[in-house]
Amino acid sequence: MSQLDQIVQQRKSVRSYDPKYVISKEEIENLLRLASEAPSSSNLQPWRVMVIKNKELQKELRAIGNNQAQIEESSAIVAILGDSEAYKNAEKIFNQNVEEGHVSQEIANNTIKNTLNFYPNVPEETRKLIAAYDAGAFAMQFMLLAKDRGYDTVTMGGFDKEKFAKRFELPANVFPITLIALGKAQAPAFGTSRLPVESFTTFYE
């Protein structure tokens, strides 16, 4: 098996963490930078991230996260959010593409124009679905990268998203999607089974 094969199989949802284990801000930033290589619709990168390392804040967050112990005991909580107005960054993103030599200014200008003509007319609910899908790709990439570096994670959708948004005063266009506990396992994760490929796949050959 390749190293990636092994990482995919080794990554499990860990719910018991060493509360004394510290992961540096710089290490988390590196993981986030690499995770941001994930694909996104029109390259708008609609994920937004909050990293919560403050233990008092983690304890407070546990109260709105169905009292899940890993929220308080992990080294950090990485909150993955979506931005339904990510298209407003089109000019910044595509001009950066020009600066880095990926495309010409003409192509960037056309892309910016098309993006700003299209996305504002898409229903907000659809834009939120797009953002959630793209943020999911980011989150999965982050967890695999974390495992590759010897860390453990679990993703949690079971928290009060309205209370979270209110506590952190999120703007109307930014919404919480999932919380990822990041740290070192104190107890191993439970193994889990997977349905066979033929149970969820149809081939047309």
Reported confidence tier of residue 70, pLDDT bands at 50, 70, 90 = very high
The side-by-side arrangement of strands in the sheet containing 174-183 is 47-52, 76-83, 174-183, 152-156
> What pLDDT is attached to residue 24?
98
What would the mean pLDDT of 1-28 be, rounded to a whole number? 97
Tokens of 183: 């740290």
Q: Which among 31, 42, 33 has a CA at the least distance from the CA of 131?
A: 42
Average pLDDT, the chain: 97
Which DSSP letter does residue 17 get?
B
What is the average per-residue pLDDT within 109-118? 98
Q: What is the pLDDT of residue 198?
A: 97
